[in-house]
């Protein structure tokens, strides 16, 4: 159940990875309709009712920070980004604690097609229900972003490798899986082909 009576939810954008599968260039800096992938994620987060947003940067951090220039968010550097997503999750947890957030929504920096309405649905589900973790589902499959109440911050801070918060989700019996009309919760850009395919799918909706 929720650990707070009046929850404030902040957003953590995980944007530190090496983009190893993308080939030449950094997938976070690849553009869709003229806007960098990571900036689209950040703009969506900024347009939502999240109380605050932090981007955890690592690989090519200066270039990624430049892509986020002008947006109202904080940056946190993860020098251990080669250790996998879990290192960035830990940095996000540290920021959430320092900012006194009641809960954190973790967004992936390579998922630019998630809708603002999906973020709002997750926040509203958390604020009005009893679940301490809220996960979106589309077409029967869970996706991202995922919201974690602060009572899970210790567990998130202890994860390792590239599993991020999946182990915490699977160990929690009070997770809410919420159906959303948003295929973008599954569309992460790992390759240039992904960028083209998912852009075409979005445009066809």
- Tell me which residues of the chain have a pLDDT lower than 50: 1-6
Nearest to 85 by CA among 111, 58, 120: 58
For residue 103, the model assigns a pLDDT of 97
For residue 1, the model assigns a pLDDT of 36
Contact status, residue 132 vs residue 154, Cβ threshold 8 Å: no
- Centre a 10 Å sphere on the Cβ of residue 134 and count the other Cβ atoms it contains: 25
For residue 190, the model assigns a pLDDT of 94
- Tokens 């939502």 locate to 48
Phi-psi region of 104 (alpha: psi -120 to 50; beta: other; left: phi over 0): beta
Q: How much is the pTM?
A: 0.94
Q: CB-side exposure of 125: number of CA atoms within 13 Å? A: 24
Q: In this structure, which long-range contacts are made by residues 172-175, counting pairs with CB atoms below 8 Å and at least 24 apart in sequence? A: 172/132, 172/133, 174/1, 174/130, 174/131, 174/132, 174/133, 175/131, 175/132, 175/133, 175/134, 175/135
- What is the CATH architecture of 9-204? Alpha-Beta Complex (3.90)
Contact status, residue 195 vs residue 189, Cβ threshold 8 Å: yes
User: For residues 98 and 66, what is the distance between their CA atoms, to the nearest angstrom?
Assistant: 24
Cβ neighbours for 1, distance < 8 A, ≥ 6 positions apart: 130, 131, 132, 174
DSSP secondary structure, 172-191, as one string: -TTEEEEE-S-GGGG----S
For residue 7, the model assigns a pLDDT of 64
- Tokens 């020098």 locate to 79
pLDDT tens, 149-176?
999 999 999 988 777 788 899 889 889 9
Q: Is 5 exposed, middle or buried (0-12, 13-18, 19+ CB in 10 A)?
A: exposed
């Amino acid at each position: 159940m929720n650990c707070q009576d009046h929850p404030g939810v902040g957003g953590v954008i995980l944007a530190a990875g090496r983009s190893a599968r993308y080939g030449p260039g950094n997938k976070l800096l690849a553009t869709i309709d003229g806007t960098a992938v990571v900036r689209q994620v950040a703009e969506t987060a900024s347009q939502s009712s999240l109380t605050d947003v932090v981007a955890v940067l690592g690989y090519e951090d200066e270039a990624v920070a430049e892509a986020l220039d002008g947006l109202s968010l904080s940056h946190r550097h993860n020098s251990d980004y080669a250790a996998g997503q879990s290192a960035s999750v830990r940095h996000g947890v540290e920021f959430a604690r320092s900012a006194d957030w009641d809960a954190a929504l973790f967004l992936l920096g390579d998922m630019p097609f998630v809708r603002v309405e999906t973020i709002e649905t997750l926040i509203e589900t958390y604020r009005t229900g009893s679940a301490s973790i809220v996960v979106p589902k589309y077409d029967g499959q869970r996706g991202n972003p995922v919201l974690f109440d602060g009572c899970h911050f210790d567990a998130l801070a202890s994860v390792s490798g590239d599993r991020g918060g999946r182990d915490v989700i699977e160990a929690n019996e009070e997770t809410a899986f919420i159906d959303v009309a948003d295929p973008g919760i599954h569309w992460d850009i790992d390759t240039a082909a992904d960028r083209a395919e998912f852009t075409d799918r979005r445009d066809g909706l």
